[in-house]
Amino acid sequence: MNHIDILKIQDIQPFQQQLYTLFEDCIESGASIGFLTPTQPEEINDYLTEVNHQIRHAQKHFFIATKNETVIGSVQLSLTQKRNGQHRAEVEKLMVLSSQRKQGIATLLLNALEDCAAHLNIQLLVLDTRVGDISEQLYLKQGFIRAGMIPHFALSSDGEYAGTAIYYKMIAQQQ
């Protein structure tokens, strides 16, 4: 197995095309990450431009997994902007290329995200994922607790509505 690097990036631009490929692969393989098939290139690129703006304004942290200098995964840590919620953050869009799954890459990305969160004095991580998605097993294995489920939450590319499962995790603070 080739070495996998986890990088916290400050600018999406150098990785834009590879991230576009990652998004497209995950959307086409059925990931519930807020996009429907068929996607339009400008839809993903506009989203990445907005995320880059959030990174630059310290509202979001962005991690990528690379193998042989190729982006094979990513995850985002979105910081809460409300004054009463600065102790919490949201895990967003954990993705791994379909050809690279089942190698522990998602776990490496989540570990890097948690380390960053602890360093930022974040105490609570929250996330949601499609009910029944394989990601639920990963989140449980990583110590997240399922708080509940909202039915009929999001439209899928197949035209059906799917529920979303809400998870949280209290994280230890670095000393």
Residue 36 lies in a domain: yes
Q: Is residue 91 exposed (0-12), middle (13-18) or buried (19+ Cβ within 10 Å)?
A: buried
Helix (H) or strand (E) holding 82: none
Residue 175 lies in a domain: no
Residue 141 lies in a domain: no
How crowded is residue 31: how many other Cβ atoms within 10 Å of its Cβ? Answer: 21
| Per-position pLDDT tens, the chain of length 175 | 579 999 999 999 999 999 999 999 999 999 989 999 988 889 999 999 999 999 999 999 999 999 999 999 999 999 999 999 999 999 999 999 999 999 999 999 999 999 999 999 999 999 999 999 999 999 999 999 999 999 999 998 888 999 999 999 999 765 5
- DSSP secondary-structure letter at 85? G
Model's pTM, two decimal places? 0.95
Residue 174 lies in a domain: no
SS3 95: strand
* Chain center to CA of 43: 17
Tokens at residue 156, please?
A: 């899928």
Split into its structural domains, the chain has a count of 1
